[in-house]
Amino acid sequence: MNKPDVVVIGGGVIGCAIAYYLTKRGARVTVLERDRIGDHASSAAAGMLGAQVETSFPGPMVDLCLASRRMFPDLQQELLQLTGLDIEWNSAGMLRLAMDERESGELQQRGEWQREIGEKAEWWSQEQLIQSEPALSSEVKGALHLPGDTQVSAPRLTRAFARGLHILGGKGVEGAFVTGLRVERGRVKEVETSAGSYRPEQVVLAAGVWTRSVARMAGVSLPVFPVKGESLSVQVSEPLFRKTLFGPGAYLVPKPDGQVIVGATERENDTSPGVTLEGLHRLSREALRMVPELSGGNWERSWAGFRPGSPDGLPYLGRVKELSNLYVASGHFRNGILLSPVTGRGMADLLAGLEVPEFHPFSPERGERVTQSGWG
Ligand SMILES: Cc1cc2nc3c(=O)[nH]c(=O)nc-3n(C[C@H](O)[C@H](O)[C@H](O)COP(=O)(O)OP(=O)(O)OC[C@H]3O[C@@H](n4cnc5c(N)ncnc54)[C@H](O)[C@@H]3O)c2cc1C
């Protein structure tokens, strides 16, 4: 019988970040991953740290996203020194593109409240845009320039957390499929897996879109559901643009090796594993609408992943009321890469018995845990 202090169920970016920060605090932590670490949504992500580009109104979610985004420059150095892995933090910034007058108006309003909360969000006319990124199509009418919204390599980030965890003495067990949670006297007594059983003091549920079915093993209802996303990538021999270009129908994320990620479709409760021709067609069309010269890019690959959604679009971060030692960190939807450091640090604090006020709006006990159709 294995007896770590904490078992984290799920080896995606969220589980690995939590385990990393817990290990830094001195806890004995084991991550249980049924497949390979980082194999699922966390590898499908484009790696945008879109605290401003992804949010339409002010509130606790923007605050959490901004707090997490601020952690990346130091985190990059910390992980590089500890693990030798570069997460490829790219500070070139983002442009949120408007393709018509209506979008221009909406984005200018968004810029106003973002400046009011102290963030940089400058409106760029078509002329200013073309000077900065000459490859943009003349269809683009203007853009909100968001220099603070940066990007990283999502697969490298997950790997770096996992390697850091290992170096600091934590464990990641691959091929450990959690099949049961044995509950006794109001707490999870035992975590049963295909690779043996564990009796930890505390359990963290970070199983992405599968959180709902694992929670049910302990009699807990958490309505996390899948939102499928398809993406593709092309290779360009010379960089066509430096900033991440975020349009109304797709985004283009340039990577250091000449790769451009084109993402992503969004289909709620679609659990089919493949990539559709329709999805690829739509992404290619939107990409060429923004940067026509991308048509000369060489096709590389396509993939699909499942974002963990929640009914109100916010993540669940905290302890579940039914059980005294079961915590959840899931439902990060489109922002799990961005939110991973703040989630990891905050969950490590919570498990150590500290108050984390910035997590209050994300309590698993908020509102009704409305049940959605979907997996699990
Ligand atoms: C196409 C696409 C693009 C995206 N782009 C971005 C982006 O640019 N920026 C951003 O911030 N976010 C982005 N996201 C969202 C981000 O990828 C997710 O929010 C994040 O990866 C969720 O991480 P996770 O650890 O919760 O889930 P996952 O990465 O899915 O990890 C959950 C893990 O739990 C494991 N698991 C499940 N059940 C069990 C079990 N019973 N036993 C053991 N292990 C189990 C799974 O095998 C899996 O590895 C994107 C997502 C997609 C799909």
Residue range 346-375, pLDDT digits in tens: 999 999 999 999 999 999 998 765 444 444
Same domain, 49 and 165: yes
CA separation for the pair 138, 144 (Å, rounded): 16
The response to whether residue 315 sits with its C-beta less than 6 Å from ligand 1 reads: no
Q: Dihedral angle at the C-alpha atoms of 140, 144, 146, 150, nearest 10 degrees? A: -30
369 domain residue, yes or no = no
Phi, psi of 301, rounded to the nearest 5 degrees: -165, 170
Give how far Cα 311 sits from Cα of 61, 113, 136, 184, 215, Å: 15, 25, 36, 30, 16
Q: What is the pLDDT of residues 13-37, one digit of tens each?
A: 999 999 999 999 999 999 999 999 9
The response to whether residue 331 sits with its C-beta less than 6 Å from ligand 1 reads: no
The total of other beta-carbon atoms located within 10 Å of residue 260's CB is 22
CA separation for the pair 46, 245 (Å, rounded): 12
Q: What is the pLDDT of residues 48-78, one digit of tens each?
A: 999 999 888 999 999 999 999 999 999 999 9
Phi, psi of 100, rounded to the nearest 5 degrees: -150, 180
Q: Give the model's pLDDT for residue 251.
A: 98
Which of residues 111, 128, 147 is at a domain's end?
147
Residue 288 domain boundaries? 225-307
CA separation for the pair 340, 346 (Å, rounded): 10
C-beta of residue 262 within 8 angstroms of C-beta of residue 283: yes
Mean pLDDT throughout 296-320?
A: 97
Residue nearest to atom 5 of ligand 1 (CA): 45
C-beta of residue 86 within 8 angstroms of C-beta of residue 80: yes
The response to whether residue 11 sits with its C-beta less than 6 Å from ligand 1 reads: yes
Q: Give the model's pLDDT for residue 280.
A: 98
350 domain residue, yes or no = yes
Which of residues 265, 281, 307 is at a domain's end?
307
Residue of 48, 253, 332 best suited for mutating to test ligand 1, as the one with most atoms within 8 Å of CB: 332
- Tally of domains in the chain: 3
CATH number at residue 183: 3.50.50.60
Closest CA to 29 of 253, 203, 226: 203
The total of other beta-carbon atoms located within 10 Å of residue 367's CB is 10
Q: Can you read off the two tokens belonging to residue 368?
A: 């009704």
Please determine, for residue 278, whether its predicted confidence score (pLDDT) is greater than 60. Answer: yes
Kindly state the percentage of the chain with pLDDT values over 70. 97
69 domain residue, yes or no = no
CATH number at residue 284: 3.30.9.10
Same domain, 260 and 137: no
60 domain residue, yes or no = no
101 domain residue, yes or no = yes
Same domain, 197 and 325: yes
77 domain residue, yes or no = no
Residue nearest to atom 53 of ligand 1 (CA): 305
C-beta of residue 30 within 8 angstroms of C-beta of residue 6: yes
Same domain, 106 and 47: no
Which of residues 105, 130, 147 is at a domain's end?
147
Same domain, 241 and 294: yes
pTM given for the model? 0.97
The response to whether residue 206 sits with its C-beta less than 6 Å from ligand 1 reads: yes
